[in-house]
Structure 1
Amino acid sequence: MEKIRVLIVDDSAFMRKLISEFLAEDSKIEVIGTARNGKEGLKKVKELKPDVVTMDVEMPILNGLDAVKQIMLEQPTPVIMLSSTTKEGAENTLTAIQNGAIDFIAKPSGAISLDLHKIKEELILKVISASKVSRKNLINILPKTTKCEDSYSRIELRKPNDIVNKAFNRSNSNTKKIVCIGTSTGGPRALQNVLTNLPADIDAGILIVQHMPAGFTKSLAIRLNSISNISVKEAVDGEIVQKGTAYIAPGGLHLKVVESGLNLLIKLDKSESRNGHRPSVDVLFESVSEIKEYMKVAVIMTGMGSDGTQGLIALKNNGTVRAIAESQETSIIFGMPKAAIATRLIDEVQDVDKIAESILKYV
């Protein structure tokens, strides 16, 4: 079996050595080179054609943010960013993802992390997953920088084709509705694609689990809010779920909802992680499954693993639910959608740029 060929780009000789040693511990991975800055990294990407690149953010001559953008333009290759957990680090990481990076790892303690061993297993796992990404899905879509003036008018809504969906829509025209979305690797760009195509007056609240550590989800919410017609925010414990607002689970906390009179209240907690995730899509979906008198739309998008599959089963066993999965053609990692599709409980498989349209068809 061919080894996964990795290029390490970091201005610290210590970090280059440490990352190389970690990756070398896995027999499936081979470090084929290192680079001291983004310019040198870009040159070596073209020369060595690695399967995966690990990239520091802050480097001299050419920083990681600009280097990722150039790599995606000139030699599309899966890039994993190594980032600090500061507010600036979180914002830089999201910019890198916007520029084409597929994933990131938060350094435990700043630029020179002497305790980097804490994320060794995560690093190896993400490198292996990144090696499976289709090159055609790495082509970066130019980001929107302002609020869409009328994203609803740009969507050509398709009428449901079958009698079941027609009956579904008629019987639920006056029903309260909730949308829940789960995603992981590649999720920030997928969420941008979906949320910016939802109208401000959408007749539902939107609950989102994006696998991210604490400190990053707030920056993600702020960024998505700045380019969407709906409101996007990091969820706060005890707040009422409002129509036209998307609530992103804070990193490190599960997102749940409970009924209180005529309202839905958000509940955040630090209960045990599920399959290594907190927040977990399964936990969110299972919580939503317990709500009565609501029509629910569940969406599972790009990500590795199978988080959301058990929650989808719970949703389908309780109440009226329509489930949408992102297609293999547009998923950065076709793990979570594939596992959901395998349950045979998914109603639609859609490319990411059609998911907003499908949501609007039901709500």
Structure 2
Amino acid sequence: MKHPVGSGFVGEIEGLGLVDLVQFACLAGDDRKLSVLSEDNRGVLYFSDNEIIHAEFGELSGEEAFYRIMSWPSGTFSMLFASNNVRTIDSSWNFLLLEAARRIDERYKSNMPTDEGSALPKVLVVDDSRFFTKAFIKLFEEQINAQVVGTATNGREALKFLEMQVPDLVTLDMTMPVMSGDAALKHIMIRSPAPVVLVSNFNDQHYSRMMDFMRYGCVDMVAKPTSPESWNLIGERLQYILLNVKEFSVDNVSRAKKLKPVDPKSKEQPEKKAEKLLLILGGLGGMLELQKIIPALHYDSDMAVLLLQNMYPGIVHFLSSYLDNFTPYTTTTLLQTNKLLGGQCLVGNSHGRREIILSEGIPTLVSSESDDGIQLLNTDSLLRSAAEIFGSALTVVFLSGVEQDLKEGMETVVTQGGKIILQDPASCLLPRSIEEIRTLGMEECILKPEEIAPYIGELT
């Protein structure tokens, strides 16, 4: 139905932010005009086809006008159905809101008094369970040496806290009353981007929803502890994250598009040995990018995909099951010994010692330690053995956060004719590791995550 131009509402709503109005206008999809008045300032935003197309503020227009308008803390508005033929904005509304939030956050931080004596990482715990909240406070403050600066029992309380302060890390439960974890995460990444770790009960029934948190922007995930041993594991993982959190570039993270499921009946059963190998190694932040790479890979029945990601041990099974829904490659979890077959994707943790050998003429990945160990992967050994067997048919991709010693293994890959692809540091949650690898000068190219699969398709 076509709405009459000029119809709409004028007024103010207490507690409703400008971000909410912009999101509504974008999701509605109609041609709309949003006029905002704050003190003596007046700004106008135009929307069409689910995007922001034009902004005006004084003599400013385009994105700079949009950012100035979004910085206003309060005011009145009118939203009318109206069209505009002028287009001064091409960026997506998600990007615009993230950039506006980043600018507001920088301005807020620059006006904050410095606290020289507080160097401890600051954490917000979001969970509706009093038991787990108290336990996590004790874990952070007594075992990890971090400061819990706030708690929230639902997503709405978390958002209110984040309007006043942005901590170094947010732990977020999935299922909560009032506002669930996934809804809260979407708002956090638009309003107050911060490193968020999902902490929830993992099971086969809800794993798809859990893994969707990667698409929304969470930097990592761990299972809620169920035993003293699991408390130790989660403590080690959170401590590892906090050791690196000051170097996180959350603004670099972009959401993956919604994935299209693959009909499981259309998949070919891997039977023949792999003639090519795609080896993907990821650290902190790497898991965020897998949904942009694995489902987009062109199917090649001669190529095996080996994915080793530094992640909480209990996630491996759920990650492989999740990715299997969206790729023609048959995706399974690594075992101690795995034949590398064409059309297969193997998913494992980057722990222990792994190398590729020929067993009865078939390339086989063998592991000397289980995935439950915490020792980082001996990458040099893996790269050397992969290069010696696959030669020029080997492609290696390094994603955000890879921290192992790689020089000798990379030299072998290049010497044997293999190719090395680096994720663009400007798209990495933890750019430092990729920037260090880049100084070696052995990569074939540097690509954004969404560019990697198409490039590999051209190679194969």
TM-score when scaled to structure 1?
Answer: 0.77
1:302 equivalent among 395, 400, 403: 400
| 1:83 partnered with 2:83 | no
Q: Deviations over 1:108-145 (max 9, x none)?
A: 426xx796355334323313423432232234233213
2:184 equivalent among 67, 70, 74: 67
Q: Which amino acid aligns with 1:346?
A: E
Q: Who is 1:285 aligned against? A: 383
Q: Who is 2:300 aligned against? A: 201
Q: Which amino acid aligns with 1:303?
A: G
Q: Distance in 1 between matches of 2:254 and 2:291?
A: 15
Offset at residue 79 of structure 1 (A): 0.3
The higher relative CO (CA closer than 8 Å, separation ≥ 6) is in: 1
Q: Distance in 2 between matches of 1:362 and 1:28?
A: 47
Q: Which amino acid aligns with 1:103?
A: D
Cα gap change, 1:340 to 1:361, in 2 (>3 Å): farther
Q: Distance in 1 between matches of 2:204 and 2:409?
A: 32
Q: Who is 2:428 aligned against? A: 331
Q: Who is 2:212 aligned against? A: 95
Q: Distance in 2 between matches of 1:182 and 1:243?
A: 19
Q: Distance in 2 between matches of 1:195 and 1:27?
A: 34
Q: Distance in 1 between matches of 2:154 and 2:372?
A: 37
Offset at residue 94 of structure 1 (A): 1.7
Q: Distance in 1 between matches of 2:207 and 2:385?
A: 29
3-state secondary structure, aligned to 2:430: coil
1:184 equivalent among 283, 286, 311: 283
Identity of aligned residues (%): 23
Alignment of 1:46-195 (within 5 A): 46-84=163-201, 86-88=203-205, 91-109=208-226, 116-147=231-262, 176-195=275-294
Q: Which amino acid aligns with 2:307?
A: I
Q: Deviations over 1:91-118 (max 9, x none)?
A: 55422222211112334426xx796355
Q: Distance in 2 between matches of 1:178 and 1:212?
A: 22
Cα gap change, 1:273 to 1:232, in 2 (>3 Å): closer
Offset at residue 301 of structure 1 (A): 0.5
Q: Distance in 2 between matches of 1:119 and 1:129?
A: 16
Q: Who is 2:454 aligned against? A: 357
Which has more radius of gyration?
A: 2
Q: Deviations over 1:6-26 (max 9, x none)?
A: 211122334333333443459
Contact persistence 1:145–1:227 (CA under 8 A): yes
Gaps of 5+ in 1: 149-174
Cα gap change, 1:247 to 1:271, in 2 (>3 Å): closer
Q: Distance in 2 between matches of 1:353 and 1:307?
A: 26
Q: Who is 2:343 aligned against? A: 244
CA root-mean-square deviation: 3.4
Offset at residue 184 of structure 1 (A): 2.1
Q: Deviations over 1:38-63 (max 9, x none)?
A: 22112212232333211123333333
Offset at residue 29 of structure 1 (A): 4.6
Q: Which amino acid aligns with 1:104?
A: M
Q: Distance in 1 between matches of 2:242 and 2:191?
A: 21
Alignment of 1:25-64 (within 5 A): 29-64=146-181
Contact persistence 1:187–1:302 (CA under 8 A): yes
Q: Who is 2:22 aligned against? A: none
Q: Deviations over 1:27-82 (max 9, x none)?
A: 98543211122221122122323332111233333332332223223332210122
Q: Distance in 1 between matches of 2:327 and 2:292?
A: 10
Q: Distance in 1 between matches of 2:217 and 2:450?
A: 17
3-state secondary structure, aligned to 1:320: coil
Q: Distance in 2 between matches of 1:130 and 1:194?
A: 24
> Which sits farther off after the overlay, 73-82 or 228-237?
228-237
Q: Distance in 2 between matches of 1:322 and 1:115?
A: 39
Q: Distance in 1 between matches of 2:152 and 2:424?
A: 35
Q: Distance in 2 between matches of 1:280 and 1:43?
A: 44
Q: Distance in 2 between matches of 1:306 and 1:94?
A: 26
Contact persistence 1:90–1:215 (CA under 8 A): no
| 1:321 partnered with 2:418 | yes
3-state secondary structure, aligned to 1:359: helix
Contact persistence 2:277–2:390 (CA under 8 A): no
Gaps of 5+ in 2: 1-115, 264-273
Contact persistence 2:253–2:428 (CA under 8 A): no
